[in-house]
Structure 1
C-alpha cells in the first residue's frame, strides 16, 4: 500500500513497464491465453485439458503419477503433474488419501493468503468517457478512489483480513 517503504519505487517500475511495453491483454479475453498455453503444452507432447475438473492427484511410489477427473477418466503423467490450486485444495482435497510428508502438510496448513484483487476486462465499442476532466481520457491507468488516505485505509483493512469498506478501482485504458 501507499504506506509501505517500497511503494513509491513500485509505482515508477510499473509506470516504466507500461510506458515501454503497454498493457497487453489477450485479444478475445483471458480464455484465449489459456487456450494458447494449452496448445503449446500439447504440441510439446503434454496433455493439457481445459474445463476438466480434477478429483484426485494419483500417487505411485511417492510421486504424482497422474490425475483422476470427476468424469472418471484417468490421465497418466509422463514427468510431472502441475497444479494451479491453493495449498488447502492440494493437501486437503486432491491429495487427501495420500501419505503427504508431515513437514509439507504442516507448511501447507501454515500458508496465509495475501491481499486479493479482481480484474474484469471489457471490450467496449468506444473508449470510456470521463466527466469532469478531459485529461482522464488520455491517462493509461485511472485510479477511482477517495484519495491516498482511502487507499491506505483499504490496504490496512485487507491486511487485517477484512473486506475494504471502500474499494480502489483501477481502470486501464488504451
Structure 2
C-alpha cells in the first residue's frame, strides 16, 4: 500500500487499489495547480489545508479529510506545519463518492487508524485480499462509505482567473479559525512545492 519513494504522478499507474503517501509541509507551503489520474483522499494528522479548485475551496482541519475526484485540477495551501497522509484510490474503488466535485468528510478514529496503518504496509499488488494490506484497504473503503460529509466548502466563481488568484477563496473565514493550528494565513515568504508532489 505504501507507495515507493516517488512523486504521485510516477506511481499512479501501479495496479494497487490504494496507494498511501506521507509528506510533511512547513507553514505557508503551497502546492501549485495539478491533477491526478486517481481519486485522492487528502488527510493530515496535524495542520490545516486549503484545497482550491475552479468550483471553490475546501478547508481541511485535522479529523477531516477531503475527497478529490480523479482528474480534478486543484491547488493546496498549508496553515501551520502539516503532516499530510494521502490515499490515492484507483478509479472505481469508491463508486459511492462523488465523481465531479470535492467532499470533506469526518475522519473517525477507525478511519484515521486505517490511514496511518496503510502508510506502514509494503506495496505488493500480488498480496491476496485476505492479507493484512488487503483487509486494511477493504476497511478503508468501508469506512469511507460510512463517513459523514462536513460542510467545509466555500464557493468560488467558476473561472480560471478567480481560481488562480483565489481572491474570494484565499482567506479562511473567521468561523473556521478555531480549527487553525498555527498563525493566521500563510506568510509573505510562503514556500512553494512542485505541482506533482
RCO higher in 1 or 2 (8 Å CA, sep ≥ 6)?
Answer: 2
Shared fold per TM-score greater than 0.5 = no
Higher helix share: 1
TM-score bucket (shorter structure): under 0.3
Q: Whose Rg is larger?
A: 1
What TM-score do the two structures reach when normalised by structure 1? Answer: 0.23
